[in-house]
Amino acid sequence: MIQKKLPFTKGQVKEIIKFHPTPFYIYDEKEIRETAKRLNMAFSWNSQFKNYFAVKACPNNHILKILHEEGMGADCSSQPELIMADRVGIKGDQIMFTSNNTPAHEYKKARELGAIINLDDISHIPFLEKHAGIPDTICFRYNPGKLRGGNSIIGKPEEAKYGFTKKQLFEGYEIMKKKGVAKFGLHAMIASNERNPQYFVDTAQMLFDLIVEISKKVKIRFHFVNLGGGIGIPYKLDQKPVDLEYIGKGVHKAYIQTIVANDLQPLKIFMENGRMLTGPNGWLISTVLHKKSTHKKYVGLDACMANLMRPALYGAYHHITILGKENLPRRYKYDVTGSLCENNDKFAIDRMLPKIDIGDIVAIHDAGAHGYAMGFNYNGKLKSAELLLKEDGTIEQIRRAETVEDYFATLDFSKLEQDHSR
Ligand SMILES: Cc1ncc(COP(=O)(O)O)c(C=O)c1O
């Protein structure tokens, strides 16, 4: 029977639960580091390759620190993410600020930190100038529209709100050249959870061709290209990990044929993957609270969609292991639910699983990216703790669980309570 890997046994998890009640997230430091090394290795031909980890995928300072130690920068989309990266020690141009519909104070913060600013729209040039000033490095996000197919999470590029059109890119670089910008970058992020390695090679080729065209016409020199994030992961048992070596080699070939052939080297290759680094290396651990048998058979967990909303949001598949029952036949069909007053609060629908008992511990796989990060407080649900399984096998709590006091922290009860006591 094919299984998904787990870096811990049921016995170890029971020990952890004595100190950290479920639900909680747990991340595997060793595998996060290994995955980062594999990505860096695939691009080692480009001496200044850097993946700017997409902070939105797993916004935890401890995880960022680990990735930074593996040579990664931070791709930030908001002021709090910028501040987190800075506080972890990721400084200056090791931060890329890729936002859209951006408020002025966020541009100010990005400029203050010396982050590379990746503009989403040509109208943001005067906006940036007015509120934060023009930096000496600038990057533009390209949206190829109908020239490229999209994929299911981001959608068709021509319907996506992000980025400049091709025509706007030429205009934008021209404007920025006149304003004295010295270093230029080009970026695209048009796929998410993409498992076809050729897609990334094609994106690189598209951007390299554009760089050749723009360099010649606008007469500027590109310092870097950012191929975006979006490398997918195998959520399902029959899916394979993306072949990183294929991507690295394919991009290298395109680089030689297009960038080197036009004498535009050196060009730094950047990416901003999130999911592929932490996704497969994080689990949501939960306990079965109730079983219910009506028109269907339900298993109710102590986690809910407020802890992991991907299944409800995208119908995403997350594999489920019932700890200690890994080798039992999956003969029972269940909906695995949370406790929100929403009928789409389900981690799995009609999932074949071993017979489940109240008190069983459940591991929801591939939850380490866009998992905790998308959490919310609907129905007064509190966010869980995050734990790190360290390389030496010990457990560190890297974020405590929210408390009721946290939930009330932004409310002021003082006046109401005074009135009440009269
Ligand atoms: C601009 C941008 N960069 C990078 C990412 C990271 O994508 P992934 O986690 O799929 O690699 C995202 C994800 O939404 C994004 O919007």
User: Domain residues of the chain, as ranges?
Assistant: 28-278, 281-408
Q: How many Å lie between the centroid of ligand 1 and the Cα of residue 7?
A: 26
Range name among 178-187, 190-199, 277-286, 297-306 with the lowest pLDDT average: 190-199
CATH number of this structure's domain 281-408: 2.40.37.10
pLDDT at 1 over 60: no
**Helix, strand, coil content of the chain in percent (nearest 5):** 35, 25, 40
Mean pLDDT lowest among 46-50, 349-353, 391-395, 411-415 = 411-415
| Atom number in ligand 1 closest to CA 275 | 9
Are the C-beta atoms of residues 131 and 107 closer than 8 Å to each other? yes
Residue 159 banded pLDDT, cuts 50, 70, 90: confident
- The predicted-structure confidence for 5-41, as pLDDT tens digits, reads as follows 899 999 999 999 999 999 999 999 999 999 999 999 9
Question: Of the residues 199, 275, 277, which should be mutated to test ligand 1's pocket, given the most ligand atoms within 8 Å of the CB?
Answer: 275
**C-alpha 373 to ligand 1 mean position (Å):** 12
> Ligand 1 in contact with 189 (CB < 6 A)?
yes
Check: CB of residue 207 under 8 Å from CB of residue 222: no
User: What pTM value is reported for the model?
Assistant: 0.96
Supply the pLDDT for residue 162: 87
C-alpha of residue 344 to centroid of ligand 1, in Å: 25
Q: Does 320 sit in the ligand 1 pocket, CB within 6 Å?
A: no
Q: Is 35 in the pocket of ligand 1 (CB under 6 A)?
A: no
Atom of ligand 1 nearest to the CA of 276: 11
Please state at what angle helix 104-113 crosses helix 79-88, rounded to 10 degrees: 20
Contact in structure between 388 and 398 (CB atoms under 8 Å)? yes
- Residue 390: closest CA among 8, 30, 32, 9: 30
What pLDDT is stored for residue 400 in this prediction? 98
Average pLDDT over residues 95-124: 97
Cβ-contact 59, 67 below 8 angstroms: no
Cα within 13 Å of Cα(365), Cβ side: 19
Which string of DSSP letters, residue by residue, matches 106-128?
Answer: HHHHHHHHTPEEEES-TTHHHHH
Q: Please indicate whether residue 279, judged by its CB atom, sits closer than 6 Å to ligand 1.
A: no
Return all residues near 415 (Cβ < 8 A) that are at least 6 apart: none
Average confidence (pLDDT) over 412-420:
78
28-278 domain in CATH 3.20.20.10? yes
Contact 226 CB / ligand 1 (< 6 Å)? no
What integer is the mean pLDDT of 390-395? 97
Give 223's contacts (C-beta < 8 A, 6+ positions apart).
137, 183, 184, 185, 267, 268
Amino acid (1-letter code) at residue 107: Y
**H or E element at residue 168:** helix 166-178
Using the predicted structure, report yes or no on whether residue 345 has a pLDDT greater than 80: yes
- Kindly state if the Cβ of 230 falls inside 6 Å of ligand 1: yes
Task: Identify the band that residue 194 occupies on the pLDDT scale cut at 50, 70 and 90.
Answer: very high
Virtual CA dihedral for 214, 218, 220, 226, nearest 10 degrees? -30
Q: What is the pLDDT of residues 120-141, one digit of tens each?
A: 999 999 999 999 999 999 999 9
